[in-house]
Amino acid sequence: MENEKQLDEHESLLIIKQMIDTAKQEQKDDGKGWIIWGWMLFLASLFTVINMHFLWYSTFFFWNIFGGIAFLIGIYQAVTSFIIKKKVRVKTYSKAIFDKLNIGFFVSLMFIIVTMNVGMSPVKGFPLLMNLYGFWILIYGAMLNFKPSIIGAFAMWILAFIALFVNLFETVMILHGVGVLVGYIIPGHIANNEFRKVAGRNLTNQQRSV
C-alpha cells in the first residue's frame, strides 16, 4: 500500500513536470508564421523592384500574386480550424490573447489595403502597412519577452518613417523589403531555432523520465 502511494506521488510529480514543460513550450513560438509571411512579403517587394526595371508585367503584378496566395492560405486555415475536426489543444492565456489580436491586426491590415485600392497612393499606403507591422511585432515581442522582435519593431518603425517622406515607389519597396527582413524573417528564424532547442531538451527530459 505504501509502495502504491509512493508510486502515485511519483506519477503525480511527473504529470506536473510535464504540464510545466508543456506550458513553457507553449510560450515559445516556432517562428514559422513569421518566416512564411516574411519571405512572401520580401519576395513580393524584391520582384516588384526588379519588375520596375525590366517592365515584365504591370507594377502590382507580384503583389496580386501575393494576394492570391494569401487568400488561399486564409481559406486553408479556415478549413482546418472550423470544418475539419482536429484534436483541440487547451489554449493558454497568451494564446487566447494572440488569437484576438490577430483578428484586430488583419482587420486593420485589410482596412489599409482597401483604402489603397479606392484612392490612397501606394507610395503612402505601404509606410502605413509597415507602421502596422511594427505595432504587431512589438506586441508579440513584449508578450513573449522576445528581444529580436522588439528590436525588429523599432527598426520597422524607423524604416516606415523614412518611407513616409519618399516619393518613389521603388524606394518604398526597398524600404518595405528591408523592414520585413529585420522585423519578420530574421526574428522568425531566431525564434524557430530557439523553439527547436527547447523542443529537443523537452524530448530528452521526457525520454530520461521514462
pTM beyond 0.85: the answer is no
- Which cell numbers hold the place of 79? 478549413
Q: How much is the pLDDT for 23?
A: 43
Q: How far is CA 42 from CA 26, 88, 155, in A?
A: 28, 33, 15
Dihedral, 61, 55, 49, 72 alpha carbons, nearest 10: 20
| Nearest alpha carbon to residue 30 among 193, 210, 168 | 193
Rounded mean pLDDT for each run of 10 residues along the chain, 210 residues in total:
52 50 52 90 96 90 90 76 55 67 84 88 94 92 88 96 94 96 94 80 58
Mutual angle of helices 122-143 and 147-164, in 10-degree steps? 160
Half-sphere exposure of 193 (CA within 13 A, CB side): 8
Contacts of 175 (CB under 8 A, 6+ apart): 130, 159, 160, 162, 163, 166
Q: How much is the pLDDT for 22?
A: 46
